[in-house]
Structure 1
Amino acid sequence: MSTTPYQRLSLHGHRLAGAGGLRAEVRAFVAEEIAAGRWSPRCDNWLIGWDPAFSERLAARGWAGMTIPAEYGGQEAGALARFVVTEELLAAGAPVAAHWIADRQTAPQLLGFGTEGQKRRFLPEIAAGRTYFALGMSEPDSGSDLASVRTRAERTDGGWRVTGRKIWTSGAHRAHYLTALVRTTLRDEATGRHDGLSQLILDLADPGIEVRPIRLLNGEAHFAEVVIEDVFVPDAMVLGEIGQGWRQINAELAYERSGPERVLSTAPLLLAHLDEIAARGGTADPVGLGLALARLSALRGLTASVAVELTGGHAPDVAAALAKDLGTRFEGDVVDVVRRSSPAGRPEDANSAETERLLRQAVLQQPGFTLRGGTTEILRGVVTRGMGLR
């Protein structure tokens, strides 16, 4: 089997060089999918590529729920094996959005903090690629300052009454459940701004929840506003401990911020452009392109090292914040590198057309890269505090 430019990039130093067999399996599967016309590669497809049938096909091969223990329907393969599979899927621009958040983030959160009942209810369905979760973190007027959330949960018989709003909630208009960060103690009653927060699992089919898709300039809707009006959440759907939401959410963010999706959103564009250069010979910006490939290699090493830490049961929040900051800025820079590297008057062939198609997609998605998952300013604050510099 021939290799793509991505597979030819060195993996030395990542402790992943021995994963060639698994990589080959994923590459063969991807090639079969594309040849059958089931989907076309897209930039940022881990966010915009919502394809439930594809998620179930992945799950049937054991490539969803890879970190979930076998007793809950998972593969128990570990974070490194999952890293290899997701890296290959992202590089191929595969439509993984439907199961992505549940597999990446909700499953580890349930394993770390969920009740036995919650694990038995949700984890097998996540591993099967059939149940989708959204993350209820950001709120209007709160930005990336999660400690300022105002969605309120008040105690009632057998559970909690929740009222509030969440915004920029990825995939909420298509997901089944929302893990929401809520305030169970008023801030003036708590001892600190990070106290009094809890996590609840909300059923998005509840009639008290209105999900409003947010249309982008291109007419697509990948984010939503979630309006919650006096929704009852039973005690059985409290995730973790009441009042421990801040500690739990910080453990969760290590999974959200550190994965290869924070580096590879524009990888399909970069790789298509490399194929274009190989076909015609030469580039208008060899230095810029060379630096981009060097950065990609280094960032793959960084994200792989975080996967190693997660495998060891650690929550490397500082390394995760650093990976997200450096990775998302790189993703945006790829767009500019490809623009500079593509000379005017190039031949109109299939390789050039593919680069142009992916470039248009990447330009539309580029503004969100450094915002989602924590802004650059927030991330640098996390790194600075973690290094004892502030």
Structure 2
Amino acid sequence: MTVALRFDPVRLPDHVQDLRAEVRAFVRDQAEQGVYDPATFEHSSDSMDRFAKAVAAKGWIGMAWPRQYGGQERSFLERYVVNEEFLVARAPTRRYFVADRQSGPTLIRYASERIKQEVLPRIIAGEAMFCIGMSEPNSGSDLFAAQAKATKVDGGWRLNGAKIWTTGAQHADYMIGLFRTSKPTEENRRHGLTSFLVDMHADGITVNPIEMINGVEEFNEVQFDNVFLPDDYVIGEIDAAWKQATSELAFERSGPERFLETFGAMRAFLTAVEGTEDARLQEGLGRLIAQMHTMRRMSVSVAGMLEAGQEPVTEASIVKDLGTVWDQALPTRLRELISLMDYDRYDVRAYRDRMDFYTRMAPKLTIQGGTTEILRGIVARGLGLR
């Protein structure tokens, strides 16, 4: 059996590397101005707002979008470098990140022209935060089992039900949510799901934050009680949103955020052991850096496919699965290396708080963006194994 699965060796061109230097100077300037603190564990709303405005002024939100909607028509590789540098610098990108990465491109492709003209400029300006409403309390990542309903009424739709593990919903202005508009058929379990643009300030929406073990309220449960949406808030084709959703997830699952969320722990560890000649520490860190480099090459390859107009759903799922499993395990692997450290020589105490934070944060990584079990099912299907 021949399987169409590939990760072409994409190299970042020189002009993209020049952009990297510009981005590094920008984040240093933002930190020096006090817009954000790279050492903080959780950024404030004010930091996120100010940073989003500064990034918008640089033209780095929606930079790969069409010019007619405020974009710069720059490459996915340029966007990749901007986001990679922001992640490494722990910049407060949450205000616009989801909208830039996937919600905006989804609206450009499927939304009505009125919605595009109304919402896309707000994203470009750093003024509209998005969340994604897919998982549900009784079905988790099994989107085919979604029960939250959208019922047709005069002039629009009424939403009822709940979504869960919805990142950033308590701050979001909009959600792109998947709702059941009719029952699935025996021939097609994917039938009956429709994508909607949801105004998160509408009457009938209740957001219940879920506190994680590191004290951060990042996930949420969102309840919908007879929420009204106008007809043109339907995104794409009624009852046939599954293909749209999988296309959207190709953007969500392949970026550097899938293996750099706990990078702060490695960075702190590298600072703590700078200049070490201990062969055991060098060997352990060398392995981790080589593994990270491999995942980065795969992620850049997917960015190249997106640049070419392809939809690498299977490849993106592989990047997400490998990346989050590795990212989740990184704090534990670093703890194993700590046992080799000379406590009299290295400032382990200064490193420990950061290590504790990332250890408590890591469990969420294999939930968000699709669980490992769901991802492996997608990969198996892509390989023709199911």
Mark yes or no: TM-score above 0.5. yes
Inter-CA distance 16–45: structure 2 relative to 1 (3 Å threshold): farther
1:64-143 aligned within 5 A: 64-143=61-140
Tell which deviates more after alignment, 211-220 or 118-127.
Answer: 211-220
1:1-390 aligned within 5 A: 13-18=9-14, 19-41=16-38, 51-187=48-184, 191-282=187-278, 284-342=280-338, 343=341, 345-347=343-345, 349=347, 355-390=351-386
Kindly indicate whether the alpha-carbon contact (under 8 Å) linking 2:266 and 2:334 is maintained by their aligned counterparts in 1: yes
Inter-CA distance 109–360: structure 2 relative to 1 (3 Å threshold): same
Kindly state the Cα deviation for residue 353 of structure 1 after the two structures are TM-superposed. Answer: 5.7
Taking structure 1 as the reference length, the TM-score comes to 0.90
Kindly state the Cα deviation for residue 283 of structure 1 after the two structures are TM-superposed. Answer: 6.3
Q: After superposition, what is the alpha-carbon deviation per residue over 1:60-119, rounded to whole angstroms, capped at 9, x for unaligned?
A: 111111122222112221211100100111111111111111111101111221121121
SS in 2 for 1:201: strand
Ranges in structure 2 where 5+ consecutive residues have no aligned partner: 1-7
SS in 2 for 1:97: coil
Kindly state the Cα deviation for residue 346 of structure 1 after the two structures are TM-superposed. Answer: 4.5
Kindly indicate whether the alpha-carbon contact (under 8 Å) linking 2:259 and 2:323 is maintained by their aligned counterparts in 1: yes
Aligned length: 376
Identity across the alignment (%): 40
Tell which deviates more after alignment, 332-341 or 226-235.
Answer: 332-341
Kindly indicate whether the alpha-carbon contact (under 8 Å) linking 1:138 and 1:168 is maintained by their aligned counterparts in 2: yes
Taking structure 2 as the reference length, the TM-score comes to 0.91
Question: What is the root-mean-square deviation in Å for CA atoms of aligned residues?
Answer: 2.3
Inter-CA distance 70–354: structure 2 relative to 1 (3 Å threshold): farther
Ranges in structure 1 where 5+ consecutive residues have no aligned partner: 1-11
Q: After superposition, what is the alpha-carbon deviation per residue over 1:126-160, rounded to whole angstroms, capped at 9, x for unaligned?
A: 11111011111010011110110001111111111
**What is the distance in 2 between the residues matched to 1:50 and 1:385?**
42
Tell which deviates more after alignment, 333-342 or 72-81.
Answer: 333-342
Letter paired with 1:327: G
Letter paired with 2:343: G
Tell which deviates more after alignment, 96-105 or 332-341.
Answer: 332-341
Kindly state the Cα deviation for residue 311 of structure 1 after the two structures are TM-superposed. Answer: 1.1
